Amino acid sequence: MKNMRIVNLTNETKKNLLENLLKRSTNDYGEYEKTVADIIENVKANKEAAIFEYAMKFDKCELTKENFEVTRAEIDEAYEQLDDNFIRVMKDSAANIRVYHEKQKRTGWFDAKEDGTILGQKITPMQKVGVYVPGGKAAYPSTTLMNVVPAKVAGVPNIIMTTPAGADGKVNPATLAAADIAGVDRIFKTGGAQAIAALAYGTDMIPKVDKIVGPGNIFVALAKRAVFGHVSIDSVAGPSEILVLADESATPRYVAADLLSQAEHDELASAILITTSPELAERVSNEVEAFVERLERKDIIRKSLDNYGYILVAQDMEMAIDAANEIASEHLEILTKNPFDTMTKIRNAGAIFLGEYSSEPLGDYYAGPNHVLPTNGTAKFFSPLNVDDYKKKSSIISYSKEALERVHEDIELFAQKEGLTAHANSIRVRFEEKAR
């Protein structure tokens, strides 16, 4: 790759781009489904024995019932291995996340009328939530904070985290410290599809949860999809995405840096610039190449940009905004003369970043809004992870005899028209004496 490809935005190029992006869907990984199904069945049948077997096979980690659950001593040891300044930053980040999500809290309501009817809604936190945090070479303390803090704000009393240990039997210290800061109740050393199965069905040590949240590799994603319905899940997350919507006022160097912030995630990540300025397009392409040469993950970045990197030049901002709404990107940066005005025309995006000093990593780590976002076009109908994802709602209905008497014949008619005579009878028996 010499420079990012620059393409004129037309209906045809937009159609081709959307088709290309959809190739990254987990629906295209059917060859792994049997492997995942076998792992799930093994964990259901053999519980910890199966999990310990997979830990040795995949992580070269020897687990026993004595070292399977993370202890307080291990958490304290993790803090000792971390820089005090980084611990402070994680605590500040957690505080920002907490404050933002506190504003999302809703309470139940009742509407009592003089005619004897009471309608309402009862909102109840889930009792047990499982949080999956990836392990391996990378550490994801930010993901830990983003998944756990909203659950605590929602009032979930039992938060169970699973994350794989290394060959030495230890979990990444940053992940453990973040879990403690966020308020996780119990942590178990397991990853992959086997962790999802354990959370979904329960084992001798891991309690069955009501919902599973958190990102992972293709095996984790397919396992979450397989257990959905038996438990709830947040989503089946796809590769990371960024779309920058810019006019001639944008700074090319900033745009290039922001595109690469997502391209470095993995080879399937998508980085797209849509601009009305051909000059900006050329300058961003040149800046990208200059940056890539000195970035540590340049091999991943090059493959990501070769496969899913685009610079699209639109005839006008209206066409650019239309394409942004069709793509429905996970992260959308708006770098225009009046970004707040442009934002009012955006219908589909996971998180929207306005202005030159609202770079995407601000949302990943620190600002407070959740970084667990809809991907692969699902921002058209999904929202960021939020407090409501950890709560459930029950409808409340109460009618007095007088209130029901006024409408009972209407309800009976409705039921009879659907051929459900027992439904009609359930209402009718309450007024039998009057009918005689």
Q: Which residues participate in catalysis according to the annotation?
A: 330-331
Cα distance between residue 43 and residue 49, in whole Å: 8
Our measurement of the distance from residue 375's CA atom to the centroid of its chain's CA atoms, rounded to an integer in Å, reads: 8
Name 43's Cβ contacts closer than 8 Å, sequence gap at least 6: 50, 51, 194, 197, 198, 201, 203
301 CB contacts (<8 Å, ≥6 apart)?
A: 260, 263, 264, 292, 295
Q: What is the DSSP letter of 81?
A: T
Query: What is the rounded distance in angstroms from the CA atom of residue 5 to the CA atom of residue 270?
Result: 13
Nearest to residue 175, comparing CAs of 56, 87, 297? Answer: 87
- Please tell me whether residue 334 adopts helix, strand or coil conformation: strand
CB-based contacts of 123-126 (< 8 A; 24+ apart in sequence) = 123/391, 123/392, 123/393, 123/394, 124/391, 124/392, 124/393, 124/394, 125/154, 125/155, 125/156, 125/157, 125/390, 125/391, 126/154, 126/156, 126/210, 126/211, 126/232, 126/390, 126/391, 126/392
* Integer Cα distance of 305 and 260 in angstroms: 9
Structural tokens at position 5: 């490809």
Q: How many residues does the chain have?
A: 436
